């Protein structure tokens, strides 16, 4: 009986040992599987793209506004009451056409008469200046004739026609020469006087027209934005009052400010795309008409104005609208391109990481043009190679769960996520 009991307990002990060994083997296998899974999950995943051939456009961006170059404000400095308006909104007019009549107040009439007197005075001054110019011109030619006759005489000129320099040191020769040069300088000075009096005459005429009881069109165009009606009071004594706008033919102009970095690449004739805040779903094209390389500084920020003319006219484009432009500085066709996110800088050199035979390699490259999203590769890569644009995720092997969610890394649109195995 005792032997049976001992055999029973021996069997139980042996069973427990086998169970423990089985559990140990099971746990070992599970741990090995876990380590293998963890090792695999620790491999980095990369966002990739393929080196392709294509076109690249380099541009600089700028902000600005629409100019009123094609809009001429029709203003008056008259004082009185509008009696007649001869135009309608949208009507075509010619230069000099009568647009409105104003019944001037006594103050307005006095101002207009004073401006007329100033105009007549400026006109007389111009006539006098022109008369003096003719007189001085005659004097200059007379002095020149005296000098040339003396200079070509046998006293001051050799037989071969060359000047007799020793004799030309005499006082009579120098006096004749100085008289001619002085007359020439006086004549040139009088030409400036004539130009100045002409400007004064133009200014006086404009002042008279601005205060006149009749408003006429300063140029041909389409009348818009009429703000005067019969019976309305006009008071342009201190500030000229706008009564209408004349829109001339021509494509709109816009001014934009470039930074000191971008202005060097802007050139007259370059094409540009333009968008307006007020027309968000529209895009326009244009060309650079002028580049100001002097610029202006405000609050320690220097801006360089650039004027762009639209390729087409559009009635929805109005003065002072906010606009943005992309000026195309350079384009290239059939070049190797990679996403700009693939380019890294190491020790002053441009480097790209590529996947080759499932291995990551660093390749030094020479870059060319860059756009907002792409960069030209001049040398170092070939078409069809796979470049790394960013890391999608990397899971650490130190105590992290194999079921951790991948974090968001740098992503490039259109790329592929690749896990590198066996590094």
**Residues 87-127 pLDDT 10s:** 999 999 999 999 999 999 999 999 999 999 999 999 999 99
Is 43 or 362 the better-scoring residue by pLDDT?
A: 362
235 forms beta bridges with 79
Q: Which residues contact 266 (CB under 8 A, 6 or more apart)?
A: 60, 258, 288, 291, 304, 306, 327, 329
CB atoms within 10 A of CB 228: 21
404-423 core/surface letters (b: 16 or more CB in 10 A; e: else):
eeeeeeeebeebeebeeeee
Range name among 85-89, 218-222, 395-399 with the lowest pLDDT average: 395-399
- Which of 329, 316, 330, 305 shows the shortest CA–CA distance to 254? 305
In this prediction, residues 2-18 reach a mean pLDDT of 61
Q: Residue 278 pLDDT more than 70?
A: yes
Q: Does domain 45-56+333-419 have CATH number 3.10.150.10?
A: no
Q: Residue 4 pLDDT more than 50?
A: yes
Q: Residue 219 pLDDT more than 80?
A: yes
Four-way CATH pick for 71-246: 1.10.287, 3.20.20, 1.10.10, 1.10.3470: 1.10.287
- Which of 190, 76, 195, 66 shows the shortest CA–CA distance to 136? 190
Q: What is the pLDDT of residue 402?
A: 40
Tokens of 46: 């990369």
- What is the location of CATH 2.40.30.170 in the chain? 60-69+250-331
- Which of 215, 228, 248 shows the shortest CA–CA distance to 92? 248
Q: What is the pLDDT of residue 26?
A: 66
Q: Which residues contact 237 (CB under 8 A, 6 or more apart)?
A: 77, 79, 107, 111
Q: What are phi and psi of 244, to 5 degrees?
A: -170, 175
Q: How far apart are the first and last CA of the chain?
A: 66
Distance CA 51, CA 304 (A): 37
Distance CA 253, CA 325 (A): 12
- Which of 235, 202, 227 shows the shortest CA–CA distance to 99? 227
- What is the location of CATH 2.40.420.20 in the chain? 45-56+333-419
Please, which pLDDT band fits residue 36 given cuts at 50, 70 and 90?
Answer: low
Q: What is the pLDDT of residue 198?
A: 95
Q: For 181-215, how does the pLDDT look when each residue is reduced to its tens digit (9 = 90+)?
A: 999 999 999 999 999 999 999 999 999 999 999 99
Q: Percent of the chain scored above 70 by pLDDT? A: 82
- Which of 132, 127, 122 shows the shortest CA–CA distance to 187? 132
Please, which pLDDT band fits residue 391 given cuts at 50, 70 and 90?
Answer: confident
Q: What is the pLDDT of residue 412?
A: 38
Q: What is the pLDDT of residue 128?
A: 96
Q: For 316-356, how does the pLDDT look when each residue is reduced to its tens digit (9 = 90+)?
A: 888 889 999 999 988 888 989 999 888 888 888 899 998 88
- Which of 195, 229, 291, 280 shows the shortest CA–CA distance to 84? 229
Mean of all residue pLDDT scores within the chain: 85
Range name among 95-104, 121-130, 274-283, 387-396 with the lowest pLDDT average: 387-396
- What is the location of CATH 1.10.287 in the chain? 71-246
Tokens of 97: 């056409």
296-298/349-356 β-pairing: unpaired
Q: Percent of the chain scored above 90 by pLDDT? A: 52
Tokens of 140: 């200059």
What fold does the segment set 60-69+250-331 form as a domain? Elongation Factor Tu (Ef-tu); domain 3 (2.40.30)
Q: Residue 397 pLDDT more than 60?
A: no
Q: What is the pLDDT of residue 136?
A: 96
**H-type helices in 170-227, by residue range?**
171-210
Range name among 69-73, 146-150, 262-266, 345-349 with the lowest pLDDT average: 69-73
Q: Residue 407 pLDDT more than 70?
A: no
Q: What is the pLDDT of residue 202?
A: 95
Q: How far is CA 343 from CA 27, 87, 331, 336, 385, in A?
A: 47, 64, 20, 13, 14
Is 85 or 23 the better-scoring residue by pLDDT?
A: 85
Which pTM was predicted?
0.55
Please, which pLDDT band fits residue 21 given cuts at 50, 70 and 90?
Answer: low
179-192 core/surface letters (b: 16 or more CB in 10 A; e: else):
bbeebbeebeebee
Please, which pLDDT band fits residue 70 given cuts at 50, 70 and 90?
Answer: confident
């Amino acid at each position: 009986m005792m032997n049976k009991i001992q055999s029973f307990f021996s069997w139980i002990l042996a069973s427990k040992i086998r169970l423990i060994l089985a559990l140990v083997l099971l746990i070992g296998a599970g741990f090995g599987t876990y380590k293998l899974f963890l090792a695999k999950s620790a491999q980095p995943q990369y966002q990739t793209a393929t080196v392709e051939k294509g076109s690249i456009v380099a541009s600089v961006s700028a902000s600005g506004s629409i100019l009123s170059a094609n809009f001429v404000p029709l203003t008056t400095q008259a004082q009185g009451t509008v009696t007649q308006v001869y135009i309608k909104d949208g009507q075509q007019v010619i230069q000099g056409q009568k647009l409105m009549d104003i019944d001037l107040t006594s103050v307005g009439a006095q101002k207009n008469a004073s401006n007329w007197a100033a105009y007549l005075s400026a006109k007389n001054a111009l006539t006098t200046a022109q008369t003096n110019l003719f007189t001085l011109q005659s004097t200059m030619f007379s002095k020149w004739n005296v000098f040339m006759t003396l200079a070509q005489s046998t006293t001051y000129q050799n037989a071969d026609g060359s000047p007799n320099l020793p004799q030309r040191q005499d006082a009579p020769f120098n006096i004749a020469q100085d008289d001619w040069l002085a007359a020439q300088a006086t004549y040139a000075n009088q030409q400036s006087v004539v130009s100045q009096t002409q400007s004064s005459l133009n200014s006086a005429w404009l002042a008279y027209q601005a205060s006149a009881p009749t408003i006429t069109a300063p140029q041909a165009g389409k009348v818009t934005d009429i703000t005067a009606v019969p019976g309305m009071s006009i008071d342009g004594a201190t500030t000229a009052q706008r009564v209408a706008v004349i829109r001339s033919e021509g494509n709109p102009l816009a001014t934009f400010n470039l930074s000191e970095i971008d202005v060097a690449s802007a050139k007259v004739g370059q094409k540009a795309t333009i968008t307006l805040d007020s027309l968000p779903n529209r895009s326009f094209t244009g060309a650079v008409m002028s580049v100001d390389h002097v610029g202006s500084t405000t609050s320690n920020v220097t801006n360089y104005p650039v004027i762009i003319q639209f390729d087409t006219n559009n009635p929805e484009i109005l003065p002072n609208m906010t606009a943005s432009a992309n000026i195309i500085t350079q384009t290239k066709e059939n070049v190797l391109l990679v996403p700009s996110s693939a380019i890294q800088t190491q020790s002053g050199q441009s480097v790209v990481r590529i996947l080759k035979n499932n291995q990551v390699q660093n390749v030094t490259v020479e870059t060319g043009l860059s756009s907002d999203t792409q960069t030209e590769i001049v040398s170092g890569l070939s078409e069809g190679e796979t470049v790394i644009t960013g890391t999608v995720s990397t899971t650490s092997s130190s105590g992290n769960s194999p079921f951790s969610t991948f974090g968001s890394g740098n992503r490039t649109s259109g790329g592929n996520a690749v896990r590198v195995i066996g590094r």
